[in-house]
Amino acid sequence: MKPRADGSIPPHQPNCFGCGPENAAGLGLNMHVDRSRVRADLVLDHRHEGAPGFAHGGVVASALDDLFGGVLVMLGRAAVTANLSVDYRAPALLGHRLRLTGWCARSDGRKLHLQGELHDAETLVAEARALFISVDGDHFQRSGATMPEEWNRWLAPVEAELPPSKPDI
Ligand SMILES: CCCCCCCCCCCC(=O)SCCNC(=O)CCNC(=O)[C@H](O)C(C)(C)COP(=O)(O)OP(=O)(O)OC[C@H]1O[C@@H](n2cnc3c(N)ncnc32)[C@H](O)[C@@H]1OP(=O)(O)O
């Protein structure tokens, strides 16, 4: 799995909660590569509500987690979230166009240290740090479900160091 020629990132799989177009309960993220970052716009609605008019914090965390899944595609690494930390800086308002940005701060063997931000125009709404751990195909066999064809190439183990990247926002 890799970004398309136009920089857009294909869904992890059609039913992915974050980016799958066939998941009616999903967030419908459309991600794209912008230099060494991944970006996506997100408009949340009443399905995602916590306090009246505000997005649920868990939904914000899910969006950032899946955005990191887009960074994995950009990097060509198959990995899973080991740790995700979110600082909520301002309420995420329903109906507003929110912008997600994610990048790889550094890698250390199997460990990928990813960072991301969520903005509403110029307002920083949330920032996240995550530890992802590279995995191979055996990790996903445990569900017993059929893996998407395009994951096969992605799931080859990779140990090489990745160059650091920083956001430009
Ligand atoms: C196609 C795919 C794409 C999939 C993309 C699909 C869509 C993307 C969606 C977003 C991503 C998700 O939600 S993923 C779903 C949520 N995540 C999961 O289900 C993962 C569940 N956890 C696991 O399966 C496991 O714990 C792993 C794979 C993360 C690690 O297990 P392991 O492989 O046995 O490795 P282990 O030896 O424990 O750890 C390796 C090193 O990492 C460190 N380490 C491990 N966990 C942590 C931790 N929480 N905090 C600090 N450090 C940690 C260890 O100390 C060790 O350091 P050292 O001793 O080497 O120094």
Alpha-carbon span 39 to 29, nearest angstrom: 10
- pLDDT of res. 52: 97
Q: How many CB atoms lie within 10 A of CB 62?
A: 18
Averaged pLDDT score across all residues of the chain: 92
Mark whether 65 is an active-site residue: yes
Q: Separation of 34 CA from ligand 1 center, angstroms?
A: 26
**Selected catalytic residue, list 45, 65, 87, 108:** 65
Alpha-carbon span 155 to 153, nearest angstrom: 5
Pick left, alpha or beta for residue 121 (phi over 0 → left; psi -120 to 50 → alpha; otherwise beta): left
65 within ligand 1 shell (Cβ under 6 A): yes
- pLDDT of res. 135: 94
Average pLDDT over residues 64-87: 97
Percent of the chain with pLDDT over 70: 90
Task: Sort strands 97-108 and 123-134 into parallel, antiparallel or unpaired.
Answer: unpaired
Q: How many CB atoms lie within 10 A of CB 111?
A: 13
Q: How confident is the model at residue 91 (pLDDT cuts 50, 70, 90)?
A: very high
Q: Separation of 54 CA from ligand 1 center, angstroms?
A: 31
Order of all β-strands in the sheet with 79-88: 8-9, 30-34, 37-43, 97-108, 111-120, 123-134, 79-88
Alpha-carbon span 151 to 12, nearest angstrom: 9
Residue indicated by tokens 């090489």: 160
pLDDT at 61 over 80: yes
- pLDDT of res. 164: 63
Superfamily of domain 8-154: Hotdog Thioesterase (3.10.129.10)
130 within ligand 1 shell (Cβ under 6 A): no
Ligand 1 atom at minimal distance to the Cα of residue 154: 1
pLDDT, tens digit (0-9, with 9 covering 90-100), for 113-169: 999 999 999 999 999 999 999 998 889 888 888 888 878 766 765 555 666 665 554
Q: Separation of 51 CA from ligand 1 center, angstroms?
A: 32
Q: What is the DSSP letter of 5?
A: T
What is the ipTM score, two decimals? 0.96
pLDDT at 72 over 80: yes
Write down the domain spans for the chain: 8-154
131 within ligand 1 shell (Cβ under 6 A): yes
Sign of the alpha-carbon dihedral angle for 85, 40, 168, 3: positive
Alpha-carbon span 33 to 20, nearest angstrom: 17
pLDDT, tens digit (0-9, with 9 covering 90-100), for 16-36: 999 999 999 999 999 999 999
- pLDDT of res. 157: 58
For atom 47 of ligand 1, the residue with the nearest CA is 82
Q: Separation of 92 CA from ligand 1 center, angstroms?
A: 28
User: CA 74, 143, 141 angle in degrees (round to 5)?
Assistant: 65
Alpha-carbon span 126 to 120, nearest angstrom: 10
Ligand 1 atom at minimal distance to the Cα of residue 80: 14
